[in-house]
Structure 1
Amino acid sequence: MPKPAKTDRALLPQAGARPSHDVVRVWDRIVRGFHWALVLSFAVAWITSEGAEDIHHWAGYAAASLVALRLVWGVVGTRYARFSQFVRNPATVLRYLAAIIKGSEARYIGHNPAGGAMVVALMVMMACVALTGWMMTTDAYFGVSWVEDAHSLAAHGLLVLVFLHIGGVALASLRHRENLVRAMITGRKRKAASADIA
């Protein structure tokens, strides 16, 4: 976990801070590939949930494999890929959310505290969807209503998180005048200014 002093620092941007137009590499190929492959696998699984059972299952297996890969890369990967860089304690996340409401949140080069919490939430929920989906294919749990209900609830919960994630990305992009979707494609973001948290 990061030191509290670092995550608590500069939730309020410094007055007069001027952003640099230089760019810096933030998201490596594995992080970017994971992100877009997970988007694709979830979309395919959602679209095929009422039919094309084999495709639905393989999309679920792909999503589960991607989450497993990301867990490993979150420990051994590059700086901004590591969980130790962006997973903050709940108090820091709540302070950041309060700063968002006030319109005074700092810009982070990696994931901000709310974004880091969303990454964890999305991965946990995707794992729940995949696990309950796999359970439904086993002899022990095939046709068991609570497993089917849990799978449906987890899938719909994941969809809600996806929309919240998209909203958060859009808000951060507008607030900090930075296209975060493009950053997740190119891997590059605007270099940290004096008020930003690297």
Structure 2
Amino acid sequence: MPAPVRPGGRRGWDPLVRLTHWTIALAILVNGALLRDGTVAHVWIGYAALSALILRLLWGLIAPGPAALAEMPLAPSRALAHLRDLVAWRWHDSPGHTPLGAWMAVAIWSLLAVTAVTGLVLEADPFPDDDTHHAWSDYRYDHDDDEEDEDDDAHETGGAGAEVAEDLHEAAATGLLILAALHVAGVGLESRLSGVNLAKGMIFNRRERTKR
């Protein structure tokens, strides 16, 4: 059985960590599942997610306590031990990221960076203000005939690069949705094992005991 947790709970994450976490989470959900690529809202939400990521990483360089990047338990041996504990239905308290949680954060941040950078590469208008700008997601389907009339060398260089960037963007965006689902499942599992509402600590700065 998991070790008991004090009824009053313990402190969760600081306000900046919570702000950047939910900004990134909402951006992944909205841009990945609800909005069409290339629209104004999609572009600006992508900027918001990238800004939140940069802010979180900068904060991690100077933040005290569990928010510090240096405090993330990224040793592979610790991640394997954590996985064995979960398989054995054991849980150990952690003031910040668990080993698997730390690797999940790094994976999400990395894919978010790839998604944002490839989106910037593909966007002809970096600061669009209406949906009359070119939606790059239509590139393959709307310009097949026109491409035949363009200069072959210029087309092959630009077209191939755009296609690679688009493929990377879509793959990274899909990966983000998969990792987000796994992250939610992991938080639910560890909340069940520990008897601590871990999600609440990312909202109200308290990790309180769940009702059994």
Q: Under a length normalisation based on structure 2, what TM-score does the superposition of the two structures give?
A: 0.76
The reply to whether residue 186 of structure 1 matches residue 186 of structure 2 is no
The reply to whether residue 99 of structure 1 matches residue 64 of structure 2 is no
Which aligned pairs between 1:28-177 and structure 2 lie closer than 5 A?
28-46=14-32, 47-50=34-37, 53-138=39-124, 144-177=162-195
1:50 is displaced (CA, Å) by: 4.5
1:44 is displaced (CA, Å) by: 2.6
Match of 2:139 in 1: none
Tell me if the contact between 1:141 and 1:147 (Cα under 8 Å) persists in the aligned partners.
no
Match of 2:143 in 1: none
The aligned amino acid for 1:159 is L
Q: Percent identity?
A: 35
The aligned amino acid for 2:108 is L
1:135 is displaced (CA, Å) by: 0.9
Tell me if the contact between 2:29 and 2:177 (Cα under 8 Å) persists in the aligned partners.
no
1:181 is displaced (CA, Å) by: 1.5
The aligned amino acid for 1:163 is A
Instruction: Indicate the RMSD between aligned Cα atoms, in angstroms.
Output: 2.3
Tell me if the contact between 1:88 and 1:113 (Cα under 8 Å) persists in the aligned partners.
yes
Deviation digits for residues 71-115 of structure 1 (CA, Å, limit 9, x no counterpart): 111111131111122232112111111111111231223211111
What is the SS of the residue equivalent to 2:207?
strand
1:189 is displaced (CA, Å) by: 2.1
Tell me if the contact between 2:11 and 2:201 (Cα under 8 Å) persists in the aligned partners.
no
Q: Under a length normalisation based on structure 1, what TM-score does the superposition of the two structures give?
A: 0.81
Q: 1:50 to 1:64 in 2, by over 3 A?
A: closer
Rounded Cα–Cα distance in structure 1 between residues aligned with 2:201 and 2:90:
22
Tell me if the contact between 1:34 and 1:70 (Cα under 8 Å) persists in the aligned partners.
yes
Rounded Cα–Cα distance in structure 1 between residues aligned with 2:120 and 2:27:
15
The aligned amino acid for 1:185 is I
Aligned residues: 176
1:127 is displaced (CA, Å) by: 0.6
Larger Rg: 2
Query: Which residues of structure 1 form unaligned runs of 5+?
Result: 1-11, 192-198
